[in-house]
Structure 1
């Protein structure tokens, strides 16, 4: 829910306009998590005497709007109290969640007017409907992660798919979604499926397929200045970022990439080279 610089048919107390002068509205959230739910503690305050009067008379209320693009979850939590607590089931949100905080009208008002209105509105009143926005604070983002996410394992943030067509590349990659898609030509994909049935050759597959893709991703992250899209929305990015942090590497601080991306990639997927070479030796012995 994008709220920046939105136009309203009536004056709104906001951080991006001067409809209501010498006044402010701030809302904060403190979150905690149990096994089954997220708990939010809200604190709200406004310096507008006129809006505070409406809140005391319960003609207005505080509200937080939650919207999760991954699960399509949307919900508004309201209260007349400046401090209140609410919770939502943990399985309703995942990944990036946008949170907008408001003061909303809780009933219709035919002649809405505040002494703090900008002088341009002098002599004017406004018709307000229940639910209309009276004040708004800056949008914030919350990331909801599963307590146990199988995709935290680096190899499982990759998926291998065939690319069909005469001009299909033997090996390609797409990192625009939640998983990193490794694209193989039809022949290579058939070879991949056959080899993947042999548990003793799993590390070899990691070295041949996942390793170069991961090195490419790390090179991009290491050298990137501006991203074309918000990587935080991609689950693979959050997983890699978390694993890099465990290795003492901060994506936002390029100087922490003291090792080569090849060495870092080896650490991330459990040093597959040794196991791959050993698998080849054993395979040769069996032959």
Structure 2
């Protein structure tokens, strides 16, 4: 959601208009990594007597609209506090996260006047209905960079293609490529292709396709003598797995440590355990839902 210059039928405090004088609405937005999550700290400074009074009375609230176009994630957070923290799962966002601050009326405000109105509006009263925007802050764009070798970023590690063998009935995994190549029968491939760009369905596809393939790869590595695993070191998928095992499990893939793990459990954890989100997507009929407003 890009904030665009917009005309309202009533005065709105914003950085791009002069509807208000001697007033300001500024929000500092500070994102930080918090494990596998992103922590976003909001610090808002409102300089307007009437709006500050309405905020204290609960008639208006700060609203932060968050949207990530790449994943389809979108939510609106409400708070009455000038300091506010929100933690978002790293799985929900990728690329650019847009954050737009607003002040929004929670209840109807009849006969609204403000001592800081521009002189063009002085002497006028306005009916502000619940849900109306009363102030617009500057949009902040946060670019969420993910490691190209992050296994949860499946396109960087896996390549899903159609199996040229028309007699193939099931999924085949090929390790002798730069990426892990997953070959699907023709019908399965085109079904996969038709839904692969829908963000809400990604956990389902990961659970059905990526987790079994990654489990197979880990089991194949485990079958080999540790000294033989280095043969795959020129492949990016192998370096990604090696890094993930080291960071998440303190395991050296080129040692006997790997045999101590359950490969299915490891595969799921490596891509952020998609089954919970997959079942949620299926049970809700593939419809993504905004998170509930946070007080």
**TM-score calculated relative to the size of structure 2:** 0.51
Q: Using the alignment, how far apart are the partners of 1:155 and 1:38 within structure 2?
A: 21
Give the drift of 1:34.
Answer: 2.5
1:246-285 to 2 correspondence within 5 Å?
none
Higher-RCO chain (CA-CA 8 Å, sequence separation at least 6)? 2
- Pick closer, same or farther for the CA change 1:155–1:121 going to 2, 3 Å: closer
Q: Which runs of 5+ in 2 are unaligned?
A: 163-173, 179-235, 237-295
1:124-273 to 2 correspondence within 5 Å?
124-146=124-146, 149-150=150-151
Q: Which runs of 5+ in 1 are unaligned?
A: 162-197, 204-268, 270-287
User: Conserved in 2, the CA contact under 8 Å of 1:99 and 1:140?
Assistant: yes
Q: CA RMSD in A?
A: 3.6
Give the drift of 1:91.
Answer: 1.2
1:55-74 to 2 correspondence within 5 Å?
55-74=55-74
- What secondary structure sits across from 1:70 in the alignment? coil
- Pick closer, same or farther for the CA change 1:151–1:87 going to 2, 3 Å: closer
User: Conserved in 2, the CA contact under 8 Å of 1:4 and 1:16?
Assistant: no
Give the drift of 1:21.
Answer: 1.1
- What secondary structure sits across from 2:13 in the alignment? coil
Q: Using the alignment, how far apart are the partners of 1:90 and 1:67 within structure 2?
A: 13
User: Conserved in 2, the CA contact under 8 Å of 1:113 and 1:126?
Assistant: yes
User: Conserved in 2, the CA contact under 8 Å of 1:151 and 1:157?
Assistant: no
Aligned to 1:20: 20
Aligned to 1:2: 2
1:37 and 2:37 aligned: yes
Aligned to 1:170: none
Q: Using the alignment, how far apart are the partners of 1:36 and 1:155 within structure 2?
A: 18
Aligned to 2:77: 77
Q: Using the alignment, how far apart are the partners of 2:156 and 2:79 within structure 1?
A: 45
Q: How many residue pairs are counted as aligned between the two chains? A: 176
- Pick closer, same or farther for the CA change 1:151–1:61 going to 2, 3 Å: closer
Give the drift of 1:130.
Answer: 1.6
Give the drift of 1:37.
Answer: 2.3
Give the drift of 1:160.
Answer: 10
Tell me which structure has the larger Cα radius of gyration.
1
Q: Using the alignment, how far apart are the partners of 2:67 and 2:102 within structure 1?
A: 14
Structure 1: 4+ residue segments shifted above 2 A: 33-37, 144-161
**TM-score calculated relative to the size of structure 1:** 0.52
After superposition, give the CA deviation of every residue in 1:207-232 in whole Å (9 maximum; x if it has no partner). xxxxxxxxxxxxxxxxxxxxxxxxxx
- What secondary structure sits across from 1:51 in the alignment? helix
